[in-house]
Structure 1
């Protein structure tokens, strides 16, 4: 049997993480000592190993729980969906990288002369395969990672103040 401290050390997790996993039913201790301390079995330890592997792949806890608790959800299906999400995020990051490089190449960014406008930007996003949902996710990621840059970028595209407020509001609601 393993104590909570043993598993925390082995998997480099905090005690509160394991307690949270317990509270959501993801990893419940097999036994309790007379002093009411959690004791984990070898099976629990193996389950935690699986949980950690899925977390490293970025799979949400709710999906991990469904994978481990039921036979109804395919592990490969979840992993393929996560891989697709990662590929989409990589495309967003590469696009952002290109935009930043272009912006850095320009010495006259402060002038009203624009590198691109909203229509050009939307056209580029569509050309790289993003639909409206993908574009919304792009804005949500930019808002989450750097709200000030998101504001600057929207202004840079020549988008009006009210539309910027709406875009940023919707972007914050995605999580």
Structure 2
């Protein structure tokens, strides 16, 4: 059994955080000591690890409670969160590009930025592809992996209206 302090320390949390989790119904101690102190079991420790993993993924405490109650049927909620994060990443990349445009300093692009639409088109042109070839490429991508095609277009920083146009023309 673990005391509240010992368990909190293992996860780099404060005692107050564990008390808050108890108040929310996320993590309750399995028992009490003779002096009335909270005691946590290995099962409680495993549950706290799961809570911390979800928190590290950016999931809110209300959704974590739903996930913990789902008893293994968490895929839908996690997929929804994944798509939410993808949207946020796309929006942030677009904002980042706008700031660079305002600064007129494209060389400042973050190292984790993959490629811009202009860079991608230039590579395709250098490899001998015509506009018609590029549309055939989009059509094949859309048929094979419509969601992957959308994610790829977003990764290039393409605006949502243009993505809809490309996807509709590729269908």
Category of TM-score, reference length = shorter chain? 0.5 to 0.7
Higher RCO (C-alpha 8 Å, min separation 6): 2
Larger Cα-atom Rg = 2
Name 1:80's counterpart in structure 2.
Answer: 79
- CA-CA distance at 1:39 after TM superposition: 0.2
Q: Supply the distance in 2 between the matched residues of 1:69 and 1:103 (Cα, whole angstroms).
A: 47
2:162 alignment partner in structure 1: 127
Instruction: Report the Cα distance in structure 1 between the residues aligned to 2:10 and 2:62, rounded to whole angstroms.
Output: 23
| Correspondences of 1:14-163 after superposition (within 5 Å) | 14-71=14-71, 74-105=73-104, 124-128=159-163
Structure 2 unmatched runs, 5+: 106-158, 165-171
Per-residue deviation, 1:64: 1.5
Give me the TM-score of the superposition, normalised by structure 1.
0.59
Distance in 1 between the 2:19 and 2:77 partners?
A: 25
**SS of residue in 1 equivalent to 2:100:** helix
What secondary structure sits across from 1:48 in the alignment? helix
Would you say how many aligned residue pairs link Structure 1 and Structure 2? Answer: 112
Question: In structure 2, what is the Cα distance between the partners aligned to 1:64 and 1:52?
Answer: 10
What corresponds to 2:133 in structure 1? none
CA distance in 1, matches of 2:163, 2:19: 43
Give 1:34 shift: 2.4
